Amino acid sequence: MILGIVLITLVILPLTSWSETVPCKTLSFQNLFPKNQTYIPVNTTEAVICFKEKDGMQMILDIENTQDYKEQVDLLKQSTAELEKQVNLLRQVNELQDQQIQTAEQTVISYHNLLKAQKEAYEKEIENNKPSIWREIGIGIGAAGIGALMGALLF
């Protein structure tokens, strides 16, 4: 960055100080420039670009700001990489949570099937142990017969 400033100072400023200002209409290629601009010939065989002082200052500021922009880009790349890592970790967490949900759903289904089987087993047990009406009638008639027989014996 400082090298650019030194280069501009050592090359452009001496070249513009050795040149002389000539109006465009005295040159043979006057149709290339508007009539109110001037052409500055420079004592060199290479192409030379001249800038207004304001433009030169702006270019120097842009050159200085380039390093700041590069640093910002590097920081943004680092933060993007970290965010991508976080996204990958969150995806893994999401997959684990999906697996946990599936396991929980399977557990609920298994528990529901267990409760259903227990209910059926209890209903069968109740039905098997439930006295029938004919048995109760038979016990009642038998008890009445025994009672009548005892009553007849005692009289």
What pLDDT was estimated at residue 82? 96
Give residue 68's pLDDT: 85
Residue recorded with tokens 């601009």: 37
Determine the pLDDT at residue 94. 97
Question: Does the model's pTM come out above 0.85?
Answer: no
Q: Give the pLDDT confidence score for residue 37 in this predicted structure.
A: 60
Residues in the chain: 155
Q: How many helices (H) and strands (E) does the chain have?
A: 3, 2
Alpha helices in 42-132 (DSSP H): 53-129
How far apart, in whole angstroms, are the C-alpha atoms of residue 109 and residue 100? 14
Distance CA 49, CA 58 (A): 15
First to last CA, the chain: 137
Q: What does the pLDDT read at residue 67?
A: 83
Q: Give residue 55's pLDDT.
A: 83
Mean pLDDT by 10 residues, the chain (155 residues): 60 53 43 58 69 82 85 94 96 96 96 94 84 80 86 78
